């Protein structure tokens, strides 16, 4: 069926099968490969994108459910080639190792900061409860989100 | 994992959703946030021929006060219930329960009606509804009806909803003030309760202590007769027959029910 939606600020219209998952639509049809398929069971958060500004796991949403909605992926955060403060902070604080979880972490963090611009460390940790990092633990990721909060409010 | 093929219908109103249900019968499933149904479809545990999307039916979402009750539309997501100033002030147990579901991303999509209709005995909202003595509002081809929480959950992942009916709203009594507690024992972040306890006044509901969320009636009776919290909590597992799994055997679950009931009755959250 035909869906019309906005992806990273650009309107799109695509003919999709109803069973197509949003993450597969973004990766295969839109060529946006930042959102990763990790666990594929709504647990790991590697596929996190923003739907109307709110973080969502795109492995557990149908593309047809996204009709009429605004989707933002990590590619859309860096629109114009300038990295988003959350992306800059992840680089600055070395908030990644292998990088697989990073796009999901960045999107979850961007969603969190949109809802709560000045989170405490505990709120950051709870806010990233839906995102798994299997490399290093979470210290630098949390540090990066706190640094991003600071730079965004400066 | 990819769901089996299905036909997709986007409902434009509650009446339209009922028409679609009537037309497609038991082959159809309703979907709002899809956070219970879609994972089951990906595992092919659910293979509906038709999915009726009610996620964009505006009249099914929203939170309002109605006399002594709060009325929450079925497709209101957990994040909106948790963040609602009205729910937080009037029925704080429900706001807290909604904030315990899954993780932030899940709470942005999962809905109160979906969680109740899914009827996972380990889930947060079924237990909260039972503790609060809420009711669900249901529309069907013959009109509307309401069902109390104690009668709504009919069995393991089973409710009293008929295949041609739509859960439209949840009605809970206002229950302000500090006389509530909520306990959820989990091994991992983002997990379902191994055992959960919600207490609202003298009503106590247990999660994952049977095929449906159950009342701890012996403990409730003891409280009503003036027993201490510790003595009443000691009766919390009376009459329960919890399942055993990798996380806990029957005796351990019953032990947890007693300990967590005491904490809930002491108005602790966790």
Q: Is B5 on the interface with A (CB under 8 A)?
A: yes
User: B47 to chain A, minimum CA–CA distance in Å?
Assistant: 11
What are the pLDDT digits (tens) for B145-169? 999 999 999 999 999 999 999 999 9
Q: Would you write out chain A's pLDDT as a tens digit for each of its 154 residues?
A: 999 999 999 999 999 999 999 999 999 999 999 999 999 999 999 999 999 999 999 999 999 999 999 999 999 998 788 999 999 999 999 999 999 999 999 999 999 999 999 999 999 999 999 999 999 779 999 999 999 999 999 8
Q: Is B114 on the interface with A (CB under 8 A)?
A: no
- Do B76 and B87 contact (CB within 8 A), yes or no? no
Contact at CB, A64 and B8, closer than 8 angstroms: yes
Q: What is the mean pLDDT of chain B?
A: 97
What does the alpha-carbon distance between residue A46 and residue A35 come to, in Å, rounded to a whole number? 6
CA distances from B55 to A3, A84, A125, B14 (A): 15, 31, 29, 11
What does the alpha-carbon distance between residue B203 and residue B200 come to, in Å, rounded to a whole number? 5
Structure letter (DSSP) for residue B125: H
**Residues of chain A with a CB closer than 8 angstroms to some CB in chain B:** 1, 17-19, 21, 24, 40-43, 45, 48, 51, 54-57, 60-62, 64-65, 67-68, 108, 111-112, 127, 129-131
DSSP β-bridge partners for residue B203: B200
Locate A71 and state its tokens: 């989707």
What does the alpha-carbon distance between residue B217 and residue B220 come to, in Å, rounded to a whole number? 5
Confidence at residue A57, expressed as pLDDT on a 0 to 100 scale? 98
Residue B191 has pLDDT above 90, yes or no: no
Contact at CB, A61 and B109, closer than 8 angstroms: yes
First to last CA, chain A: 45
User: B40 to chain A, minimum CA–CA distance in Å?
Assistant: 10
Interface pTM (ipTM) of the complex? 0.97
Contact at CB, A57 and B109, closer than 8 angstroms: yes
Q: If you measure CA to CA, which chain A residue comes closest to B103?
A: A130
Confidence at residue B245, expressed as pLDDT on a 0 to 100 scale? 95
What does the alpha-carbon distance between residue A25 and residue B96 come to, in Å, rounded to a whole number? 35
User: A6 to chain B, minimum CA–CA distance in Å?
Assistant: 16
Residue B265 has pLDDT above 90, yes or no: yes
- Going by their DSSP bridges, the two strands B50-53 and B7-10 should be labelled as parallel
Structure letter (DSSP) for residue A106: H
Contact at CB, B104 and A127, closer than 8 angstroms: yes
Q: Who wins on pLDDT, B191 or B219?
A: B219
Contact at CB, A43 and B190, closer than 8 angstroms: yes
Q: If you measure CA to CA, which chain B residue comes closest to A116?
A: B83
Contact at CB, A40 and B2, closer than 8 angstroms: no
Confidence at residue B189, expressed as pLDDT on a 0 to 100 scale? 80
Contact at CB, A67 and B10, closer than 8 angstroms: yes
Confidence at residue A140, expressed as pLDDT on a 0 to 100 scale? 96
What does the alpha-carbon distance between residue A82 and residue B225 come to, in Å, rounded to a whole number? 67
What does the alpha-carbon distance between residue A88 and residue B74 come to, in Å, rounded to a whole number? 40
Q: If you measure CA to CA, which chain B residue comes closest to A18?
A: B8
DSSP β-bridge partners for residue B123: none
User: Which chain B residues touch A51 with a CB distance below 8 Å?
Assistant: 108
- The helix (run of H) or strand (run of E) holding residue B176 is none
Confidence at residue A80, expressed as pLDDT on a 0 to 100 scale? 83
- Do B181 and B132 contact (CB within 8 A), yes or no? no
User: Which chain B residues touch A142 with a CB distance below 8 Å?
Assistant: none
User: Which chain B residues touch A18 with a CB distance below 8 Å?
Assistant: 5-8, 51
Q: Is B246 on the interface with A (CB under 8 A)?
A: no
Which of A17, A41, A112 is closest, CB to CB, to B104? A112
What are the pLDDT digits (tens) for B200-259? 999 999 999 999 999 999 999 999 999 999 999 999 999 999 999 999 999 999 999 999
């Amino acid at each position: 069926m035909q869906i019309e939606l906005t992806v990273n600020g650009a309107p799109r219209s695509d003919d999709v099968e109803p069973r197509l998952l949003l993450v597969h639509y973004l990766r295969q049809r839109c060529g946006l490969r930042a959102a990763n398929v990790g666990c594929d069971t709504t647990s790991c958060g590697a596929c996190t994108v923003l739907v109307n500004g709110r973080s969502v796991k795109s492995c557990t949403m149908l593309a047809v459910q996204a009709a009429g909605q605004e989707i933002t992926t990590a590619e859309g955060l860096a629109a114009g080639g300038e990295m988003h403060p959350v992306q800059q902070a992840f680089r600055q604080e070395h908030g990644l190792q292998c990088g697989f979880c990073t796009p999901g972490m960045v999107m979850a963090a961007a969603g969190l900061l949109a809802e709560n611009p000045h989170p405490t460390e505990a709120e950051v940790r709870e806010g990233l409860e839906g995102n798994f990092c299997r490399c290093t633990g979470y210290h630098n990721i949390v540090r990066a989100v706190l640094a991003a909060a600071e730079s965004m409010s400066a | 994992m990819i769901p089996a093929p299905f036909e997709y219908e986007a409902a434009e109103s509650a009446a339209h959703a009922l028409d679609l249900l009537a037309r497609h019968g038991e082959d159809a499933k309703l979907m709002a946030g899809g956070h219970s149904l879609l994972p089951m479809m990906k595992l092919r545990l659910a293979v509906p021929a038709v999915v009726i999307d009610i996620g964009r039916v505006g009249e099914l979402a929203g939170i309002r006060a109605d006399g002594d009750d709060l009325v929450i539309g079925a497709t209101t997501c957990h994040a909106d219930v948790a963040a609602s100033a009205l729910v937080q002030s009037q029925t704080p147990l429900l706001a807290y329960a909604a904030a315990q579901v899954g993780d932030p991303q899940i709470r942005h999509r999962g809905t109160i009606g979906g969680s109740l209709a899914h009827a996972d005995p380990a889930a947060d909202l079924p237990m909260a509804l039972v503790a609060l003595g809420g009711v669900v509002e249901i529309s069907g081809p013959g009109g509307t009806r309401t069902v109390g929480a104690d009668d709504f959950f009919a069995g393991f992942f089973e409710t009293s909803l008929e295949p041609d009916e739509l859960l439209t709203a949840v009605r809970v009594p206002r229950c302000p003030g500090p006389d509530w507690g909520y306990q959820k024992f989990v091994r991992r972040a983002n997990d379902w309760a191994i055992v959960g306890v919600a207490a609202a006044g003298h009503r106590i509901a247990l999660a994952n202590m049977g095929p449906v969320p159950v009342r701890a009636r012996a403990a409730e009776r003891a409280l009503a007769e003036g027993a201490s919290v510790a003595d009443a909590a000691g009766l919390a597992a009376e009459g329960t027959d919890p399942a055993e799994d990798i996380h806990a055997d029957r005796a351990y679950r019953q032990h947890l029910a007693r300990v967590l009931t005491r904490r809930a009755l002491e108005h602790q959250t966790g």
